[in-house]
Amino acid sequence: MALDLDNHPHRRWNSLTGEWVQVSPHRAKRPWQGKQEETPGEEKPKYDPECYLCPGNNRAGDAKNPEFESTFVFTNDFSALKPDTPSETIKDGDLLYAKGEKGICRVICFSPRHDLTLPEMELSQIREVVDLWTKEYTELGDRDYINYVQIFENKGEIMGCSNPHPHGQIWAQQTIPDEPSKELKRQINYYEEHDKTLLGDYLDLELERDERVVVENEHFVVVVPYWAFWPFETLLISRRPFSRFTDMSDAEKDGLADIVKQITVKYDNIFEVSFPYSAGFHPAPTDGKEHPEWHFHMHFYPPLLRSATVKKFRVGYEMLGTPQRDITPEASADLIKSLSDTHYKKQ
Ligand SMILES: [Zn+2]
Ligand SMILES: [Zn+2]
């Protein structure tokens, strides 16, 4: 009997991290008896006097937001990383080992509007967000002690997001964190062997097979990766191999705004709710090295499973063994592709 990836349990290799994911497609029809989340409430106000991210409002302590009209960035009032931390190492024998970690955490409001998420914003407004990501990546990355700038968005109450005002975060720090660090090793190895970027070759394969591509434009392509773990996980890849926000042309920055809108509109259309996710960019480290191996990309990790109220938890075997999924990445891609390109609120 030949192995059939649509029906037989199998493991798929994540060529970007070197890790495995267990796929069990035969279980996709199993009846669900898990937790039901409340469907997120509908319309939010344009301005909320209680929101600490709305223009003109008070934040923690004495801080007060300006009357901003497009994007707004500030240093997180409750930063997880601080620039003045001692870089000391504490080593107690071979087993107890700790290091001070310097860093800066920032918050980015995507717009003054309390009610507008990325998929509902105009392209020109999303482009302003792209420009701010680029500026922050450059400014923070230029500091000699910052070796990685992690830009991300944690969207939706279900993700533990504490404020509904559409915003993203930046954690810039001394050490290259674990996820980009795994990808760095894999990308260097591949580049040394093939003299091309790993994700460039992977993208060529995806475009040729055309099974997992969900949206694309002149400059970027979004796929459900072959090794996806989350049910509706996607990977956004630049067509041209480049490493950093600062390598993008103006046309590519417009392209990035457009592709972010396209994929987030698709997401909202899956269950006709504001779709929760953790998403973030993986640009090259800012460690002063050239990084020709690094291919600019972005990950979307949404937690929803089969309805707006059923969330996937990483528990049991997945905490103790290997990440696992039921529905195949190809089936997820088919579903995302089949949805309208127009946001459900505008249909
Ligand atoms: Zn607000
Ligand atoms: Zn990555």
Q: In which domain, by residue range, is 190 found?
A: 42-346
pLDDT at 62: 83
Residue 157 · residue 40 · CB < 8 Å: yes
pLDDT at 42: 63
Examine residue 37 and state whether it is found in any structural domain, yes or no. Answer: no
Residue 129 in 3-state DSSP?
helix
Smallest Cα–Cα separation from 167: which of 258, 88, 72? 72
pLDDT at 305: 85
The token pair at 12 is 């798929």
Ligand 1 centroid, distance to 156 Cα (angstroms)? 14
Examine residue 89 and state whether it is found in any structural domain, yes or no. Answer: yes
Ligand 2 centroid, distance to 116 Cα (angstroms)? 27
Amino acid identity at 83: P
pLDDT at 222: 98
Integer Cα distance of 270 and 230 in angstroms: 15
Examine residue 202 and state whether it is found in any structural domain, yes or no. Answer: yes
pLDDT at 309: 82
pLDDT at 308: 84
pTM: 0.95
Ligand 2 centroid, distance to 338 Cα (angstroms)? 26
pLDDT at 40: 57
Integer Cα distance of 223 and 250 in angstroms: 23
Smallest Cα–Cα separation from 302: which of 234, 220, 256? 234
Examine residue 17 and state whether it is found in any structural domain, yes or no. Answer: no
Examine residue 211 and state whether it is found in any structural domain, yes or no. Answer: yes
Examine residue 9 and state whether it is found in any structural domain, yes or no. Answer: no
b/e burial code for range 40-50 (CB count within 10 A of at least 16 → b): beeebeeebee
Ligand nearest to the CA of 152: 2
Amino acid identity at 331: A
Model confidence over 88-141: pLDDT tens digits? Answer: 999 999 999 999 999 999 999 999 999 999 999 999 999 999 999 999 999 999
Ligand nearest to the CA of 182: 2
Task: Say which CATH number the domain at 70 has.
Answer: 3.30.428.10
Integer Cα distance of 297 and 259 in angstroms: 12
Question: 3-class secondary structure for 198-263?
Answer: HHHHHHHHHHHHCCCEEEECCCEEEECCCCCCCCCCEEEEECCCCCCHHHCCHHHHHHHHHHHHHH
Examine residue 135 and state whether it is found in any structural domain, yes or no. Answer: yes
Catalytic residues: 167
Examine residue 217 and state whether it is found in any structural domain, yes or no. Answer: yes
How many domains is the chain built from? 1
Integer Cα distance of 59 and 30 in angstroms: 47
Smallest Cα–Cα separation from 228: which of 244, 246, 208, 212? 212
> Could you say which residues of the chain have pLDDT below 70?
29-42
Which helix (H) or strand (E) segment holds residue 69: the answer is none
Ligand 1 centroid, distance to 11 Cα (angstroms)? 43
